[in-house]
């Protein structure tokens, strides 16, 4: 096992009717800015619950954060924070709203051009405003980690940053908030959590026995609950397990002490930035082809994945790897998510465009071995046509 430092200060408040806990979680003297996305937070009554819980605190709001939060929109929120001297942020939404809030928290305290936060991937962040979250969409795990992804619309640039200063102080997770989500978003959330887990698990063995078993358990849980999560939207136990699994998939625990990949994400980010495809759907496009292209360097873990996650024990090594990749693709397809570029009306021109963007953004040595060059990325994308 590799050496590691694990740090996660986020408090989780999980269960029914927990939004009311905001009355005790947010400092009584705080000047609060609620950040959210579209109209659903208002329509479902979640914003009304949040406002009621905040009581007589000074509260302002900022809506309109996109599914892939843009730098342009978030800088308007930064201006409001600075102008109104806001000192506490509250994200109400899914991963995009939480990611955006992390950027606002850091940018509001940053001296200089805030875009540099993303260009330097957060290494230059020295402080940030405190913030909490009310999670409404289980998917990204952003509610319990210190990472975020932001898109600059003007240049089709999607970049990530991380900083220990942008862990949420707390996150409220009420599974009933997922009951009204459309099936598309639930399917996306399942794929997002699945691929987050795979990125930290399907690399090469380092005797991280607990991490492996933990990751395998999360993957098996997602496979088990996926049909009911889509078919029975108000099944509390299923939605509770989905919400907590998605959080555990990216709170740092299963990635501690083991190598990590993240190439599917880097390639997928470019597809989203260029063509607006949902983040999870880009992962479903890239991952199966990437696993096949990297089957030699990932061989030992692919065989472990085949046996422990998909229970494939017969046939040659290559046959089991083929079957495990095929099962992965079929799982994504069973959720109604296409795993081919053609499913999004994209062809070879998209391959050229994505590879060019990867080169422009310096994404030329991806993967746990840094051996995924632009040419390998091209091979992966062409196999996903």
Do residues 344 and 300 share a domain? yes
**Does residue 3 lie in a domain region?**
no
pLDDT category at 150 given cuts 50, 70, 90 is: very high
**Does residue 264 lie in a domain region?**
yes
Domain boundary among 137, 159, 177: 177
* Mean pLDDT to the nearest integer, 30-56: 94
Do residues 193 and 156 share a domain? no
* Mean pLDDT to the nearest integer, 99-104: 98
- Can you give the chain as a three-state secondary structure string? CCCCCCCCCCEEEECCCHHHHHHHHCCCCCEEEEEECCCHHHHCCHHHHHHHHHCCCEEEEECCCCCCCEHHHHHHHHHHHHHHCCCEEEEEECHHHHHHHHHHHHHCCCCCCCHHHHHCCCCCCCCCCCEEEEECCCCCCHHHCCEEEEEEHHHCEEEEEECHHHCCCEEEECHHHHCCCCHHHHHHHHHHHHHHHHHHHCCCCCCCHHHHHHHHHHHHHHHHHHHHHHHCCCCHHHHHHHHHHHHHHCCCCCCCCCCCCCHHHHHHHHHHHHHCCCHHHHHHHHHHHHHHHCCCCCHHHHHHHHHHCCCCCCCCHHHHHHHHHHHHHHHHHHCCCCCCHHHHCCCHHHHHHHHHHHHHCCCCCECCCCCECHHHHHHHHHHCC
Summarize pLDDT for 77-93 with one digit per residue, the tens: 999 999 999 999 999 99
Query: pTM to 2 decimals?
Result: 0.95
**Does residue 4 lie in a domain region?**
no
**Does residue 122 lie in a domain region?**
yes
Do residues 132 and 279 share a domain? no
Summarize pLDDT for 153-210 with one digit per residue, the tens: 999 899 999 999 999 999 999 999 999 999 999 999 999 999 999 999 999 999 999 9
Q: What is the pLDDT of residue 189?
A: 97
Domain boundary among 177, 209, 225: 177
**Does residue 104 lie in a domain region?**
yes
Q: Locate tokens 């479902």: which residue?
A: 44
Q: What is the dihedral of CA 231, 237, 238, 244, to 10 degrees?
A: 150
CATH number assigned to the domain comprising residue 282: 1.20.1090.10
* Mean pLDDT to the nearest integer, 281-301: 98
What would the two tokens of residue 96 be?
């995009």
Calculate the average pLDDT of the chain: 97
Q: Give the whole-number percent of the chain exceeding pLDDT 90.
A: 97
Q: What is the pLDDT of residue 281?
A: 97
**Does residue 300 lie in a domain region?**
yes
Do residues 56 and 85 share a domain? yes
Do residues 144 and 272 share a domain? no
Q: What is the dihedral of CA 205, 207, 213, 215, to 10 degrees?
A: -50
Do residues 344 and 204 share a domain? yes
Do residues 343 and 213 share a domain? yes
Q: What is the pLDDT of residue 340?
A: 98
Q: What is the pLDDT of residue 41?
A: 86
**Does residue 98 lie in a domain region?**
yes
Summarize pLDDT for 222-264 with one digit per residue, the tens: 999 999 999 999 999 999 999 999 999 999 999 999 999 999 9
**What is the distance between the alpha carbons of residues 203 and 259, in angstroms, rounded to a whole number?**
6
Q: How many domains does the chain have?
A: 2
Q: What is the pLDDT of residue 225?
A: 98
What would the two tokens of residue 14 be?
């999980």
Q: Is the pLDDT reported for residue 319 higher than 90? A: yes
Q: What is the pLDDT of residue 357?
A: 95
Q: What is the pLDDT of residue 141?
A: 95
Do residues 190 and 236 share a domain? yes
Do residues 62 and 211 share a domain? no
CATH number assigned to the domain comprising residue 128: 3.40.50.1970
Nearest one of 212, 185, 178 to 198, comparing CA atoms: 212
What would the two tokens of residue 300 be?
């030992």
Q: What is the pLDDT of residue 244?
A: 98
Q: Is the pLDDT reported for residue 40 higher than 90? A: no
Do residues 22 and 149 share a domain? yes
**Does residue 6 lie in a domain region?**
no
Domain boundary among 127, 143, 177: 177
* Domain of 274, in residue numbers: 183-383
Do residues 165 and 188 share a domain? no
* Mean pLDDT to the nearest integer, 269-295: 96
Do residues 145 and 216 share a domain? no
């Amino acid at each position: 096992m590799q050496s590691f430092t694990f740090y996660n200060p986020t408090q989780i408040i999980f269960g029914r009717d927990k939004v009311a806990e905001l009355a005790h979680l947010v400092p009584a003297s705080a000047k609060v800015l609620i950040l959210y996305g579209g109209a659903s937070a208002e329509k479902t009554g979640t914003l009304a619950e949040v406002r009621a819980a905040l009581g007589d605190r000074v509260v302002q709001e900022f809506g309109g954060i996109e599914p892939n939060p843009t730098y342009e929109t978030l800088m308007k929120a930064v201006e409001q924070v600075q102008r109104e001297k806001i000192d506490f942020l509250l994200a109400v939404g899914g991963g995009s709203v939480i990611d955006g809030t992390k950027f606002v928290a850091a940018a509001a305290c940053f001296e200089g051009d805030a875009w540099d936060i993303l260009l330097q991937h957060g290494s230059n962040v020295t402080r940030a405003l405190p913030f909490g979250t009310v999670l409404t969409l289980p998917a990204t795990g952003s509610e319990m980690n210190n990472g975020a992804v932001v898109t600059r619309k003007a240049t089709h640039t999607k970049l990530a940053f991380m900083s220990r200063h942008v862990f949420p102080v707390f996150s409220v997770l009420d599974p009933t908030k997922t009951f009204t989500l459309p099936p598309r978003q639930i399917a996306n959330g399942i794929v997002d959590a699945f691929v987050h887990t795979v990125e930290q698990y399907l690399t090469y063995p380092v005797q991280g026995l607990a991490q492996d078993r933990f990751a395998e358990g999360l993957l098996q849980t997602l496979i088990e609950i996926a049909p009911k999560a889509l078919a029975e939207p108000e099944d509390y136990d299923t939605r509770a397990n989905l919400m907590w699994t998605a959080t555990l998939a990216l709170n740092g625990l299963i990635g501690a002490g083991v190598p990590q990949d993240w190439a599917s994400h880097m390639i997928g980010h470019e597809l989203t930035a260029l063509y607006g495809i949902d983040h999870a759907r880009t992962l479903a496009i890239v991952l199966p082809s990437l696993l096949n292209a990297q089957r030699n360097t990932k061989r030992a873990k692919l065989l472990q994945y085949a046996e422990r996650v998909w229970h494939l024990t017969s046939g040659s090594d290559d046959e089991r790897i083929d079957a495990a990749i095929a099962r992965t693709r079929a799982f994504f397809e069973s959720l109604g998510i296409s795993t081919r570029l053609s499913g999004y009306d994209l062809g070879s021109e998209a391959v050229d465009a994505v590879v060019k963007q990867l080169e422009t953004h310096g994404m030329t040595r991806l993967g746990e071995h840094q051996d995924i060059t632009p040419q390998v990325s091209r091979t992966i994308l062409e196999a996903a046509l």
